[in-house]
Amino acid sequence: MPQVNVIDRPTLKNVIRPALDAKLAELSKELGLQITSGSATYGDTTGSFKLNLATICEDGVVMTQERQAFLDLHELYGLPESALDAEITLSGLRLRIAGIRTKAPKNNILLASLDGSGNRVAPLSVVKAALKRSQG
C-alpha cells in the first residue's frame, strides 16, 4: 500500500477509495449490512467520505433507500407494489425496477440492469408505459 502524502482526485480514486471499499466489504460481512462509500470531498491535506448503510433482508435483498421509498410511496406514484423487481425493456435493454428516487424531479425511477452493468434511471411515465407493455 503506497504512502499517501497529498489527497487529490487520482489518489482518492486509485488508492484511497479501493482500500476503503475493501475494508468496508469486510465490515459488511461481519455486521450483516451493506456498507459502501459514497461521495467524497477533499482538499490537499484533508478529506471526507459519505458512508451508505443498508440492511439485508432475509431473502438476501439489500434494502436501499430507493427500494424502501418504493415500498412506502408506490401508490402515490401510481405503481402497484408488484412492480418492484418487475422486469421491463427500455431501448432494447432488459431492466428491473429497483426503486424510487424521491429527490429526482424527472428521472425518478431507479432501474437495475439484468446483465449486471449497473443502474439506470428513467421518468415515471416511461416506466409505466414499459410496465404496461410487458404485462400484456
**pLDDT for position 131:** 94
Task: Give the Cβ contact number of residue 97 at 10 Å.
Answer: 24
**pLDDT for position 87:** 96
Both 92 and 120 in a single domain? yes
Tell me whether residue 44 is in a domain.
yes
**pLDDT for position 3:** 86
Tell me whether residue 4 is in a domain.
no
Sign of CA dihedral 106, 121, 57, 132: positive
**pLDDT for position 2:** 75
Both 69 and 131 in a single domain? yes
pTM for the predicted model, two decimal places = 0.79
Per-residue pLDDT of the chain (136 residues; tens, 9 = 90+): 678 888 889 999 999 999 999 999 999 999 999 999 999 999 888 889 999 999 999 888 999 999 999 999 999 999 999 999 999 999 889 999 999 999 999 999 999 999 988 899 999 999 999 999 988 7
Both 71 and 124 in a single domain? yes
pLDDT digits (tens, 9 = 90+) for 67-87: 999 999 999 999 999 999 999
Tell me whether residue 2 is in a domain.
no
Host domain of residue 29: 9-62
Closest Cα partner for 132 from 90, 70, 99, 101? 90
Tell me whether residue 48 is in a domain.
yes
CA atoms within 13 A on the CB side of 28: 18
Give residue 122's identity as a one-letter amino acid code.
Answer: A
**pLDDT for position 5:** 84
| Residue with grid cell 425518478, as numbered in its chain | 108
Query: Residues for the chain: how many in total?
Result: 136
Q: What is the 3-state secondary structure (H, E, C) of the chain?
A: CCCCCCCCHHHHHHHHHHHHHHHHHHHHHHHCEEEEEEEEEECCCCEEEEEEEEEECCCCCEECHHHHHHHHHCCCCCCCHHHCCCEEEECCEEEEEEEECCCCCCCCEEEEECCCCCEEEECHHHHHHHHHHHHC
